[in-house]
Amino acid sequence: MVSIVETVSRKQTMLARNLACVALAALVCGCFPQETPARLPKITSVEKALEAGDAAKYVSLFDRQFREFPGELVNLKGLLKLGLRKNPIESIPATIGSMTSLVWLDLGQERLADLPDGMSNLDKLNTLYLNDNRFDHVPACVTRFRDLQYLNMDRNSIATLPSTIGDLARLRWLRLNGNKLHELPAELGNLRDMRRLYLENNQLEAFPEVVLRLTLLTDLVLSGNRIAKLPEEISVLTGLENLDLEHNGIARLPESVLKLKRLKRLCVTGNPIPEADLKRVQYAMPDCYVVY
């Protein structure tokens, strides 16, 4: 007979595990880089930014209903971070290219369909948000940011990636959720420093084999596509911790999945995988939280 103490202990263990999994899911599904950025004094108006002059390091103009890029900001030569999220701005002037001290730029939730080539002068940029805009392509200037480590282009209308995406040698985190991608270019495999790749809700017909060259990946999200099978070679992704395959057409998991020893979360909800197979994976990988 199982004692009350043992029962309580088991429930506490399960609760702790579930809380840990919830925390992990929140972390891996978030849109912000996990590293805590340096805390800079935040200025929230153009007027105060101009008063501060070159001492202004971080300007955030979130949801201020700007219809045009505040051109006065280009005079802030010491600016490191600029946030213009959720303003109905339809174009960015080429003069932004003179803001060469920028390392962080948020142009998310605007009405942008392209970016000026002169923007490629921002050669120190390492973090760029372009999510929730009207892009049907990756602007040419984006693939010239040689120091770029984080790129978010979620929820646009991008159908293809340019071969020049492979020039972003330092890219570690790429978010392309909610686009129209059918395949990935071979050059994506050049991004050997990539850690997190998010491709949720695209139109991928098959597992993108080029991903197998990204051997440092810790997070791979392919949910909401049309993938029918996983390659046996998936075991080369030895650092994988989070694998999200939710809502595809996968009928079985290859045996090689069991070789992903660092896997902490495997999500296969909405796939026609027999429950017996899922139980087998759970038994073989006790440290992995399997969601089905």
- In order of their start, the domains of the chain are 40-157 (3.80.10.10), 177-292 (3.80.10.10)
Q: What is the pLDDT of residue 39?
A: 84
List, for the chain, all residue ranges whose pLDDT scores fall below the cut of 70: 1-38
| CA count, 13 A, side-chain hemisphere, 202 | 30
The per-type count for the chain, helices as H runs and strands as E runs, is 3, 12
Q: What is the pLDDT of residue 11?
A: 35
Beta-bridge partners for 81: 58, 104
pTM across the whole model: 0.88
CB 158 within 8 A of CB 133: no
3-state secondary structure of 174: strand
Residues 6+ apart with CB under 8 A from 102: 79, 80, 81, 82, 122, 124, 125
Residues 6+ apart with CB under 8 A from 10: none
Exposed, middle or buried, 96 (CB in 10 Å: 0-12/13-18/19+)?
A: buried
Token pair listed for 83: 């946030």
Q: What is the pLDDT of residue 1?
A: 38
CB 72 within 8 A of CB 47: no
- Rg from Cα positions in the chain: 22
